[in-house]
């Protein structure tokens, strides 16, 4: 089996479980993102929720891309990591007062608002500070991203966004308030989309909407198409860098921007997914009657995606050259869902081997919990070893 490239001598003494971020992969990914964005005139805002590790954030901020935040904590982390406030957007259905106030104080670019009551509160809090807040309205385009039910967000039945039939009234409402500016529309249809043609219905829905708004005399300065570009979990070794070029080309070809409009996007997973690996040591190899188990020191508390979304992560034994055998790779947590991968073929393993759980840079470390009173996983950037 092909294995990823890891500096074994340097990582073998790390305390596991530990997230290992490959700086070179991250930099190459960022280069691909910014090159495509410059070519097609996109303004990317990295979705901080995918990975808010300080070193990862700083590296992304250095490239000049913006940030997409979904909490006050993320806004503060983005500012601290060096993202320009005028490139920070703040989304989410339940922004609380302190989060709105902190974002106003930070002078972020805009709030992606999702309901009338929220807009009223932003207007009121901005007024108290003598400020005018920019508002993009998150629109529910009722487009199916054909992805996992728990990560599909663009359908009418989801809690996100404002439904199309209420949109014009909501825009007029925003325009009637003294302390907010209506500056654009925001969309996000889901996550881990691997077929770029999935974005075409979104573009078409936006085009249709734009015509209606134009006829109603409503000016829209910014279109934000959200995130959702997927990564190749099956093949991180040869398909490492996501196809930002193809994604942006598809959107550029199908989305009809009006003169002067700016196009924003919010990639999360695609920016950080492949640079991260969860390193874990085999604690025991247990032979059952029909299966053998590799019981590792990482659990669903360190990486919850397999338990939560049935997500696949490739697992390699990076310290063994023995012949392949089949193992269920499981964690130590007292939950039967604490399984990383069933029937995984990997090099024959023994206590002390290091397994690499690949493509774990997005929605990995950030979702770690202390359930079972476990310690949080460690994290290192390759260039600091
Ligand atoms: C989660 C999210 C993103 C990022 O999604 P990815 O699938 O990680 O690219 C972007 N925008 C919004 C509003 C989100 O909620």
pLDDT, tens digit, for every residue of 64-123? 999 999 999 999 999 999 999 999 999 999 999 999 999 999 999 999 999 999 999 999
Ligand 1 pocket member 269 (CB < 6 A) = yes
Q: From the CA of 186, give the closest atom in ligand 1.
A: 13
Which residue's CA is the closest to the ligand 1 atom numbered 3? Answer: 227
Say what the pLDDT of residue 157 is.
59
pLDDT above 60 (res 204): yes
Q: Which residue has the tokens 């691997």?
A: 194
| Nearest alpha-carbon partner for 147 in 228, 221, 76 | 228
- CA 294 and chain centroid, separation: 30
The span from the CA of 152 to the CA of 156, in Å, is: 11
DSSP H helices, the chain, are: 8-11, 23-40, 54-62, 72-81, 97-105, 116-128, 164-176, 199-215, 244-254, 269-272, 305-309
pLDDT above 60 (res 135): yes
* Domain residue ranges of the chain, discontinuous segments joined by +: 8-17+274-384, 23-273
The span from the CA of 384 to the CA of 201, in Å, is: 44
pLDDT above 90 (res 1): no
pLDDT above 60 (res 151): no
**Residue 288 pLDDT level (bands cut at 50, 70, 90):** confident
173-186 confidence digits (pLDDT tens): 999 999 999 999 99
Pocket residue to mutate for ligand 1, from 42, 95, 191, most atoms within 8 A of Cβ? 191
The span from the CA of 260 to the CA of 320, in Å, is: 57
The span from the CA of 250 to the CA of 36, in Å, is: 12
**Residue 3 pLDDT level (bands cut at 50, 70, 90):** confident
Say what the pLDDT of residue 148 is.
58
Question: Average pLDDT, stretch 299-322?
Answer: 97
The counts of H helices and E strands in the chain are 11, 17
**Residue 154 pLDDT level (bands cut at 50, 70, 90):** low
Q: Note whether 8-17+274-384 and 23-273 share their fold.
A: no
Q: Which helix (H) or strand (E) holds 268?
A: none
Tell me the C-alpha to C-alpha distance, in Å, between residue 77 and each of 21, 67, 71, 88, 235.
Answer: 19, 10, 10, 11, 32
Say what the pLDDT of residue 149 is.
58
The span from the CA of 109 to the CA of 43, in Å, is: 12
14-32 confidence digits (pLDDT tens): 999 999 999 999 999 999 9
CA of 130 from ligand 1 middle (Å) equals 31
Q: Which fold has domain 23-273?
A: TIM Barrel (3.20.20)
**Residue 143 pLDDT level (bands cut at 50, 70, 90):** confident
Q: Which class is domain 8-17+274-384?
A: mainly beta
| Percentage with pLDDT > 90 across the chain | 90
Say what the pLDDT of residue 153 is.
59
**Residue 164 pLDDT level (bands cut at 50, 70, 90):** confident
pTM here is 0.95
Ligand 1 pocket member 138 (CB < 6 A) = no
DSSP state of 229: B
Q: From the CA of 91, give the closest atom in ligand 1.
A: 13
* Tokens, residue 136: 């993009």
Q: Please tell me whether residue 200 adopts helix, strand or coil conformation.
A: helix
The span from the CA of 7 to the CA of 71, in Å, is: 36
């Amino acid at each position: 089996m092909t294995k990823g490239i890891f500096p074994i001598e340097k990582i073998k003494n790390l305390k596991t479980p530990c997230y290992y971020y490959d700086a070179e992969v991250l930099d190459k990914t960022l280069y691909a993102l910014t090159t495509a964005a410059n070519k097609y005139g996109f303004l990317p805002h990295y979705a901080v929720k995918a990975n808010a590790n300080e070193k990862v954030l700083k590296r992304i901020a250095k490239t000049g891309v913006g940030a997409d935040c979904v909490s006050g904590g993320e806004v503060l982390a983005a500012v601290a990591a060096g993202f320009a406030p005028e490139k920070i957007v703040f989304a989410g259905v339940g922004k609380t007062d302190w989060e709105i106030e902190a974002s106003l104080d930070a002078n972020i670019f805009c709030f992606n608002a999702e309901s009338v009551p929220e807009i009223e509160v932003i207007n009121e809090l901005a007024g108290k500070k003598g400020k005018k807040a920019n508002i993009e309205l998150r629109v529910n385009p009722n487009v199916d991203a054909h992805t996992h039910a728990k990560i599909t967000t663009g359908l009418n039945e989801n809690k996100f966004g404002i439904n199309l039939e209420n949109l014009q009234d909501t825009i007029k409402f925003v325009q009637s308030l003294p302390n907010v500016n209506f500056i654009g529309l925001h969309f996000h249809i889901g996550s881990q989309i691997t077929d770029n043609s999935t974005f075409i219905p979104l573009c078409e829905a936006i085009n249709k909407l734009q015509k209606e708004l134009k006829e109603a005399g409503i000016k829209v300065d910014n279109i934000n198409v959200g995130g959702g570009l997927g990564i190749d979990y099956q093949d991180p070794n040869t398909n490492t860098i996501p196809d930002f070029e193809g994604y942006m080309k598809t959107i550029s070809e199908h989305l009809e921007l009006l003169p002067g409009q700016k196009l924003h996007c919010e990639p999360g997973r695609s920016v950080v997914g492949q640079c991260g690996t969860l390193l874990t040591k085999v604690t025991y190899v247990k032979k059952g009657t029909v299966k053998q188990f590799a019981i590792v020191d990482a659990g669903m508390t360190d990486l919850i995606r397999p338990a939560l979304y049935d997500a696949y992560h490739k697992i390699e034994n990076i310290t063994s050259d023995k012949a392949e055998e089949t193992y269920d790779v499981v964690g130590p947590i007292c939950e039967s869902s604490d399984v990383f991968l069933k029937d995984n073929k990997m090099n024959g393993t023994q206590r002390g081997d290091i397994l690499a759980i690949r493509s774990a840079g997005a929605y990995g470390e950030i979702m770690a919990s202390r359930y079972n009173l476990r310690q949080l996983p460690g994290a290192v950037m390759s260039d600091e070893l």
